[in-house]
Amino acid sequence: MRVVTLDAVAGRIRATPPRRGPTTVVAIDGPAGSGKTTLAARLSTRLDDAPVVHLDDLYPGWDGLAAGSDAVADQVLLPLAAGRPARYRRWDWYGDAYAEWVDVPPAPVVLVEGCGSAPTRAAAALALIIWVEAPHDVRKDRGIARDGDGFGPHWERWARQEDALFAAERTRDRADLRLETASRLPHDPELEVVVADTPAHADSGLG
């Protein structure tokens, strides 16, 4: 493990050309509670407020992980790879139904974050995959602290879907960069991240 700055990660993204189309699309994937949303927000500010698509807005309920991953492929990733405008149908968690369509603003970089944000069938759209991880208990505590006790009963139900999806997609193995958000390695999480390792197929590009 080693510590790198968020500025260095943002620099790696800036230096990465689009895989297809005019947009450098970065997927920030990993299990619930690992820190994907926080990472996306911090990177966005370093990338001229790059648009962030949150898969929480696409999952059709607590059994909708696979459906949300398919939706982001069809509505966001594949259109961007084809150079077309991207938009997605937002899921209203309170109304338990689909709501309005949301346009993804055109930009040089678009960040897509959430479990299942790097589907293999849209791999041609992804310039980079960042995998974010933390121990199970740490993630569960974070999830409950963030979403309240109402999340607790759904935790294992969601985790089973994650296990199935990540095994089928081999998401961690396909990642270009793997980050550990609960590392004891001294670092400032506001400014730095801990790189867990560099996949054999990838050059981290972080010096």
121-139 per-position pLDDT tens digit: 999 999 999 999 999 889 8
- Mind listing the pLDDT tens digit for each residue in 21-67? 999 999 999 999 999 999 999 999 999 999 999 999 999 999 999 99
109-113/24-29 β-pairing: parallel
Query: Per-residue pLDDT for 207 more than 90?
Result: no
For 80, phi then psi, to 5°, come to -65, -40
CATH code assigned to 2-197: 3.40.50.300
**93 band by pLDDT with thresholds 50, 70 and 90:** very high
Task: Report the alpha-carbon distance of residue 25 to residue 119 in Å, rounded.
Answer: 13
Query: Mean per-residue pLDDT for 184-195?
Result: 95
**199 band by pLDDT with thresholds 50, 70 and 90:** low
Task: Report the alpha-carbon distance of residue 138 to residue 21 in Å, rounded.
Answer: 38
Number of Cβ within 10 Å of residue 185's Cβ equals: 11
Question: For the chain, first and last CA: distance in Å?
Answer: 14
Higher pLDDT residue, 144 or 46?
46
Query: Per-residue pLDDT for 101 more than 70?
Result: yes
Query: Mean per-residue pLDDT for 99-127?
Result: 97
Give Cα separations from 153 to 127, 147, 178 (angstroms).
36, 12, 29
Task: Report the alpha-carbon distance of residue 76 to residue 99 in Å, rounded.
Answer: 17
Q: What is the pLDDT of residue 206?
A: 79
Query: How much is the pTM?
Result: 0.94
Query: Per-residue pLDDT for 148 more than 90?
Result: no
Half-sphere exposure of 58 (CA within 13 A, CB side): 26
